[in-house]
Structure 1
Amino acid sequence: MNSKMTLSARAFLLTVGMLVVLYWYTSDVEIQARVYPVQQVVGQPVRYMDSTSQAEQWHWEFGDGQESPRARGVVRYYRPGTYLIRLRVNKEVTRTFSVVIRPEPMVIRQDSLVQIQGPSTGYEREKLVFTAVGGRASQFTWRFGASGQVDSRDQTAIYSYPADEDRSKPHTYTIELMTDVTKYPIRKQITIIRGYNKFDPPIDSLDIVGSDIRRRLQQIADGQSFNSNYNYLLSKYLCNRNNSLVQINNTKANDFYSYCMGLQFDQGVHIDGVAVVSDSVTSCITRLNVTQHKP
């Protein structure tokens, strides 16, 4: 009896198995797969995955020569266009997808913008230096607002504002810089202080700076307040760089701090003159050439 039941059970299971296999080969399998995002930027990932029931083999073709035998993964495209993705499951069932790859958008960083670097105040007939910085410009057109015409076509422009008949108050001008990479002019305002005779020769701003530095150094040498004079020079002209070079009488040199400290103790020093060298971009004084003697 048990033997007959066992044979019957085996026959039943065999029949069910054959029916399952028959169903597998005769029914249509619906592919359960995804490709996302369907719009992407060049070089960014496009993900693919398949969760089809009873899937054992996969063959992905991505339309640009790339292929994959895996159920899921990531693909990247490096040229813009529309690509047709084809998935074949168990070598029998096929499904297609399409993705659109767009060019990488142009990103303009803040530090790539052209800007005007230069003083915001100055004296009439003073030689003022302005530089176009940032960006990749190669052509420059400067208008400084006084002449009504183009004043320079160099990346770094030197300009002196003329004396004005009205000396009662400072005059404000608008500087305009146009380049080959800007749509509209870059603008900067500058205030010109009156007070010099229009027949005076042009004033070199570095000469004014040198005279002010000489006066302050002399006060240190004369034993007046070290801290106030030293900190004034350091912050106003040297951009707080206490290791700036000081060359004395074209023969010896010190850093700025050591030189000023030495002046306190080397009594009787007379500062004859100071010539300065500045950074054209930052306007910071980078070097002092000091002429001095002891009577």
Structure 2
Amino acid sequence: MAEKNITHYHMDKMVRYLFIFVFLISATVLGFHIKNSSGCSTVLFNTDAENYSVGEAIMFNDLTIDAEKWQWAFGDNTSSFQKNPAHYFEKPGAYDVELIVNGSCVGIQTVEIKEAVKVLDSTKFPVFDIPQSVRVGESLVLKDETNNASTWEWRFGETPRIDDNNRTATYVYKEPGLYTVKLIVNGDVEYMTKKKINVLEPKEKVSVLEKRKKRRKKVKDWGVKEFPEGYTDGKEDGTDKNEPPKPITAPAITTKNFERMLLQVSEGNKTALDFKRYFCGDITKSVVVNEKTMSFSVLCQKIANKNIKIKSLIIDKQKGTNCINNISLVYKRTLF
């Protein structure tokens, strides 16, 4: 009987010790959580700039009271454990920057990163003078005056290719129109100078006989008429009413010259109206462009001021009148 009482008393002491041990563990954990959760509502940080750009270093400053540990996540898969880290972003966009203080307190701010504005050096742009106009068939001579230039790429606008690689360039235009002359030096495309030039029709050649006629003295008009009044020899105003009207005809144009004119449209130097005579007045005729059907006037609107490269061009003309019935065009956009 005495042994049973001793065992029961021993079991009561074990339960009491276990209860004290569990209490101490729980109090320790609770204290740890209370310590780490204090001040979470006051996690604050700021930056040293109002506007942000790609590649610009941004200083992030923690303003949290009683902060001892920091973990930054900048929203671009990078992080830092410094109190006030400096960081820059490589791409534009909106980034959620997160700061974790003391392992549990969190603060988040969104920063908007804009594309970097590149400032070009005005002294690197090519320098050359150009006349206001030149005639078809005349030699246009231009000289670059850029300092420290070693290579040149001249484009005179009739074709997308490079026309000359020398400091002094010479070019002869084949078609009239408004062209853009472009020059790149030292292979730097960002520094390109563009200037306009108006190419006029070639001068009409006057024969020796016509020059002599102009120099002749005007014969005095004695008032003698060649025919009596009312006599028309069967015609009125020099036109026979019975003569059928002549069909409308279009001037001849080669596929190469038509291609040059389309390139001038892409540079903003020509419009659909410049092609009117080749279509016998109807620039709304349907054409096939990159396997799609549209009117020729719509085609000119689509490629206007958009540099293109023509891959193939087929022109269908009407027999007898030479009017363009249809064209088949394949082209693609180019950088410049």
TM-score normalised to structure 2 length: 0.33
Q: Specify the structure having the higher radius of gyration (Cα).
A: 2
TM-score normalised to structure 1 length: 0.38
Greater relative contact order structure (CA < 8 Å, 6+ sep): 1
Higher strand share: 1
